[in-house]
Amino acid sequence: MQGGDSSEKASPSEATSSFQELVTDMFDALKFSALADSFDEKAVLSQHDMERQISRVDDFKFEVMRALDRLRVETPGQVNAEISESLIQLLQESSSKAKASLSKRLEQTTAECASRSKTERAKAFKSLEAFLAASPLPELDMVVSVKYTDSEYEAKQKESSEGGIEYEFTIDLKPVKMFQKKIDFYGLGKELRIPVETKKGWGNKDKAVFEDASNYVMDSAELSRDSLVLDLAKPDSERRARITYSRVPERRFVSVEVSGQEGMRNITADPLLSKSLDAQSLQNTMEWLWASFSKASLNKKTLTSLRLDGDEQLARPNIPELFKAVMRVMMPAYQSVINSMYAGPSKSGGMDIHELRKRVKDLGTASVPVAEALGLPRTD
């Protein structure tokens, strides 16, 4: 969702789309997370139950042993002593077997609970990943980074949203033909010349020296909300160039820096070189690249980082807390969507209030806090 000062400024279509993501992917994440928690709780309860049963076995064994000791004292004799010893040995063996059986049963239960919990948490993670991939929250900042490594381009997108949620996705560049080989302006069908330095010409006057932009290939790039920066390299040379295209309200401008013996030189700050730069053609090319990068950023692939209020969440996301963070931001916009559900599915993007209540109820143990967050009355 495009950034804004408040979720209240989300358009009706954005609010509806975000709410649909909430009641599908986020609800699934909550449901699977609750199931995983239940299996974890079952494992803990099984551990406590086994400890109680082992304690009872030990109590029974010691009680019988004390009774045998009393009988041995009250009815002395060699035969009685031998019988007592045999009974004690049998009791020791039986109690050991009983405890071993309990331990094996616990081990099986724990392994089963751990396996099922892991499965449910993996499903919860995939659902949360799908929810965040749709960018359902007002965006505070976004950066798409592309870098050429090991004969291919790799890309990732970092996004920070209202509610203290920050996350990072890898981007699948395979569907975008432009990224299948090293990018140069010639391959893009763009013929541009860049003034890189000045030299003395006729009449000892300074004149611009040009290089074809097609001599450079893109090493890396970074797209943010208001700028696109390309870092270019000239193969078999130490020459480097950086092109920065900035888009701010009611203004577009491009700057070019080229490395030389004295380091990076700002071409656009040099009156002669700046005058010789075909800024409009370069700006048009950067605008086209901006659109291409923006389109590629939609192909989110794998969630690689997730933070809530600065705390890392990737290893084991606290999905109920993430849900609360989403609701703190989006509830003002969601409220209008929920209100429209009372008028029927045609007014709310395909769902009415009865369907919403059913989906909430299907969340099981997570249904109560979700219903409260959505302002739905309980229907137990």
Give the model's pLDDT for residue 77: 75
Residue 183 token pair: 């990018």
Give the model's pLDDT for residue 349: 57
Bridge partners, residue 50, by sequence: none
| Rg of the chain (C-alpha set) | 34
Q: Report pTM.
A: 0.80
Spatial separation of the C-alpha atoms in residues 197 and 364, rounded to whole Å: 70
Backbone angles phi, psi at 17, to 5 degrees: -60, -45
Give the model's pLDDT for residue 70: 82
What amino acid occupies position 166? E
Residue 366 token pair: 């997570």
Closest listed residue to residue 230, CA positions, set 217, 240, 243: 243
Q: Give the H or E element holding residue 380.
A: none
Instruction: Enumerate residues 6+ apart whose C-beta is below 8 A from 237.
Output: none
Decide if 25 contacts 131 (C-beta within 8 A): yes
Beta strands in the chain (DSSP E): 139-149, 152-161, 165-171, 193-200, 206-212, 217-224, 227-233, 240-248, 251-260, 263-266, 300-308, 311-312
Instruction: Enumerate residues 6+ apart whose C-beta is below 8 A from 349.
Output: 16, 17, 19, 20, 337
3-state SS string for 227-289? EEEEEEECCCCCCEEEEEEEEECCEEEEEEEEEECCEEEEHHHCHHHHHHCCHHHHHHHHHHH
Residue 351 token pair: 């769902």
Q: Give the H or E element holding residue 160.
A: strand 152-161
3-state secondary structure of 69: helix
Can you give the pLDDT of all 380 residues of the chain as single tens digits?
Answer: 655 444 445 688 888 888 999 999 999 999 999 999 999 999 999 989 888 888 888 898 888 888 888 877 777 777 777 887 888 888 888 888 988 988 888 899 999 999 999 999 999 999 999 999 988 888 889 999 999 988 899 999 999 988 899 999 999 998 888 888 888 766 555 667 777 777 765 655 777 777 787 788 899 999 999 999 999 988 888 888 899 999 987 788 889 888 866 678 888 888 888 887 878 888 888 898 999 999 999 999 999 999 999 999 999 999 999 999 999 999 988 998 898 888 776 555 578 888 899 999 999 888 988 998 898 876 55
Give the model's pLDDT for residue 6: 43
Give the model's pLDDT for residue 244: 94
Give the model's pLDDT for residue 191: 66
Decide if 267 contacts 120 (C-beta within 8 A): no
Decide if 286 contacts 228 (C-beta within 8 A): yes
